[in-house]
Structures are given as structure tokens and as C-alpha cells.
Amino acid sequence: MGIAFGKIHKKKCCCGTCCPGRCLPKDCLTGELATCDNPLPLTLTVDLTATPSSGSSTCFNGTGVITFLTPLDEGGLCCWQGRIEGTCVDCNGVTFSWYVDMTVCCGANGWIVTASPGLPCVMGNGTSVVVDPVCDPVLFEGCFDDLIVGCVVACLDTMPPTPGPEYELCFSIYETP
């Protein structure tokens, strides 16, 4: 009497709860490209805009690309990840570089967008928001509740020096054809 061994099929990683009808661009376990009819894109474009609490500086406006990485890829979380970079001139005329690491993941309650500014810039306690997307083509838009602070030193053109502005960070993340 022989024992028959059947092939075990792993369920393809899919984000039906986040974007019905579309699957993630890669399988989260194997890293293989998706085989569904309408996979989400491997890259998404990110536009960041930041509104200052004072003055008119648009320091943290920037555009970049985030890429879908699986656990088998270097540093992947089975999410889109990437760094948006730029430069800024503070209120004292000093140029400094900035970056914001962006992550977009399909979570249990929907799409989660996370921003992590580079030091010396920081955001408050929580830098993630859950967004309601448009899925075909992809479009996520929103703002973070926490403000970017600590990037700009005190402005020395007034006495006593005034603190640099805080920035409200907003995003538009979208699929490009």
C-alpha cells in the first residue's frame, strides 16, 4: 500500500481587504511576481508637501519613488518602501538636507502610510495613518496628525530668537502608467 503525497499549494499573498480585485505585485513568501490579472504596481510615486506653522518656507516638498519589497528582498516588509530626499534653507539662510522614509502597507484595517523623518527632524508619537484609497489606479492622499519639528534652528533675525516653524506633512501616493 503506497502513500500518495499531494502538492501543497500556498495561498498567494493578496490584499483583497485593501484593494478588492487587485493583488500585491509579489508573493510575500516567495518574492515571485504576482500572477493575478491586475496586480498592484511594483513602484508608487510619492509627493510630499509640508505647510509651515509660520513663514512661507516649503522646505519639505519633494517627490520620489517607493518600491514593493518582500521579506526575501533586502530589508523588505512586504510593503512599499523608500526615501524621499531634498534640501531646505532655514530661516537663518543655512542649507540643510532632509529625508523622510515612507512605507505603505496593507494592514488588517486598511492601507497604512508611515513617515519617518531623518534626524534632527522628528515627528510626534505616531507617524502612521490609515487611508481610504482609490485602487485602480492607486491613489492615497492624506496628512499626518503629528507635526515635523526640530529641523530648523531658532531664527536669529529677531530678538529674542524665535523657534523655527513646525510643519504639517501631507502626501499623495499614486500609480503612474
Q: Is the pLDDT of residue 6 over 60?
A: no
How far apart are alpha carbons 9 and 161 in whole angstroms? 65
Domain boundary assignment for the chain: 43-174
The candidate with the shortest Cα–Cα distance to 50, out of 62, 68, 41, 40, is 62
Whether the per-residue pLDDT at 12 is higher than 60: the answer is no
C-alpha–C-alpha distance, residues 20 and 76, integer Å: 23
Is residue 100 pLDDT above 70, yes or no? yes
pLDDT digits (tens, 9 = 90+) for 52-91: 777 666 677 889 999 999 887 777 788 999 999 988 777 7
> Is the Cβ–Cβ distance between 146 and 125 less than 8 Å?
yes
For position 81, what pLDDT does the model report? Answer: 94
Model confidence pLDDT, tens digit, residues 110-167: 889 998 888 777 776 557 888 888 888 999 999 888 777 767 666 777 777 777 777 8
Sign of CA dihedral 37, 10, 20, 108: negative
21: left (phi over 0), alpha (psi -120 to 50) or beta: left
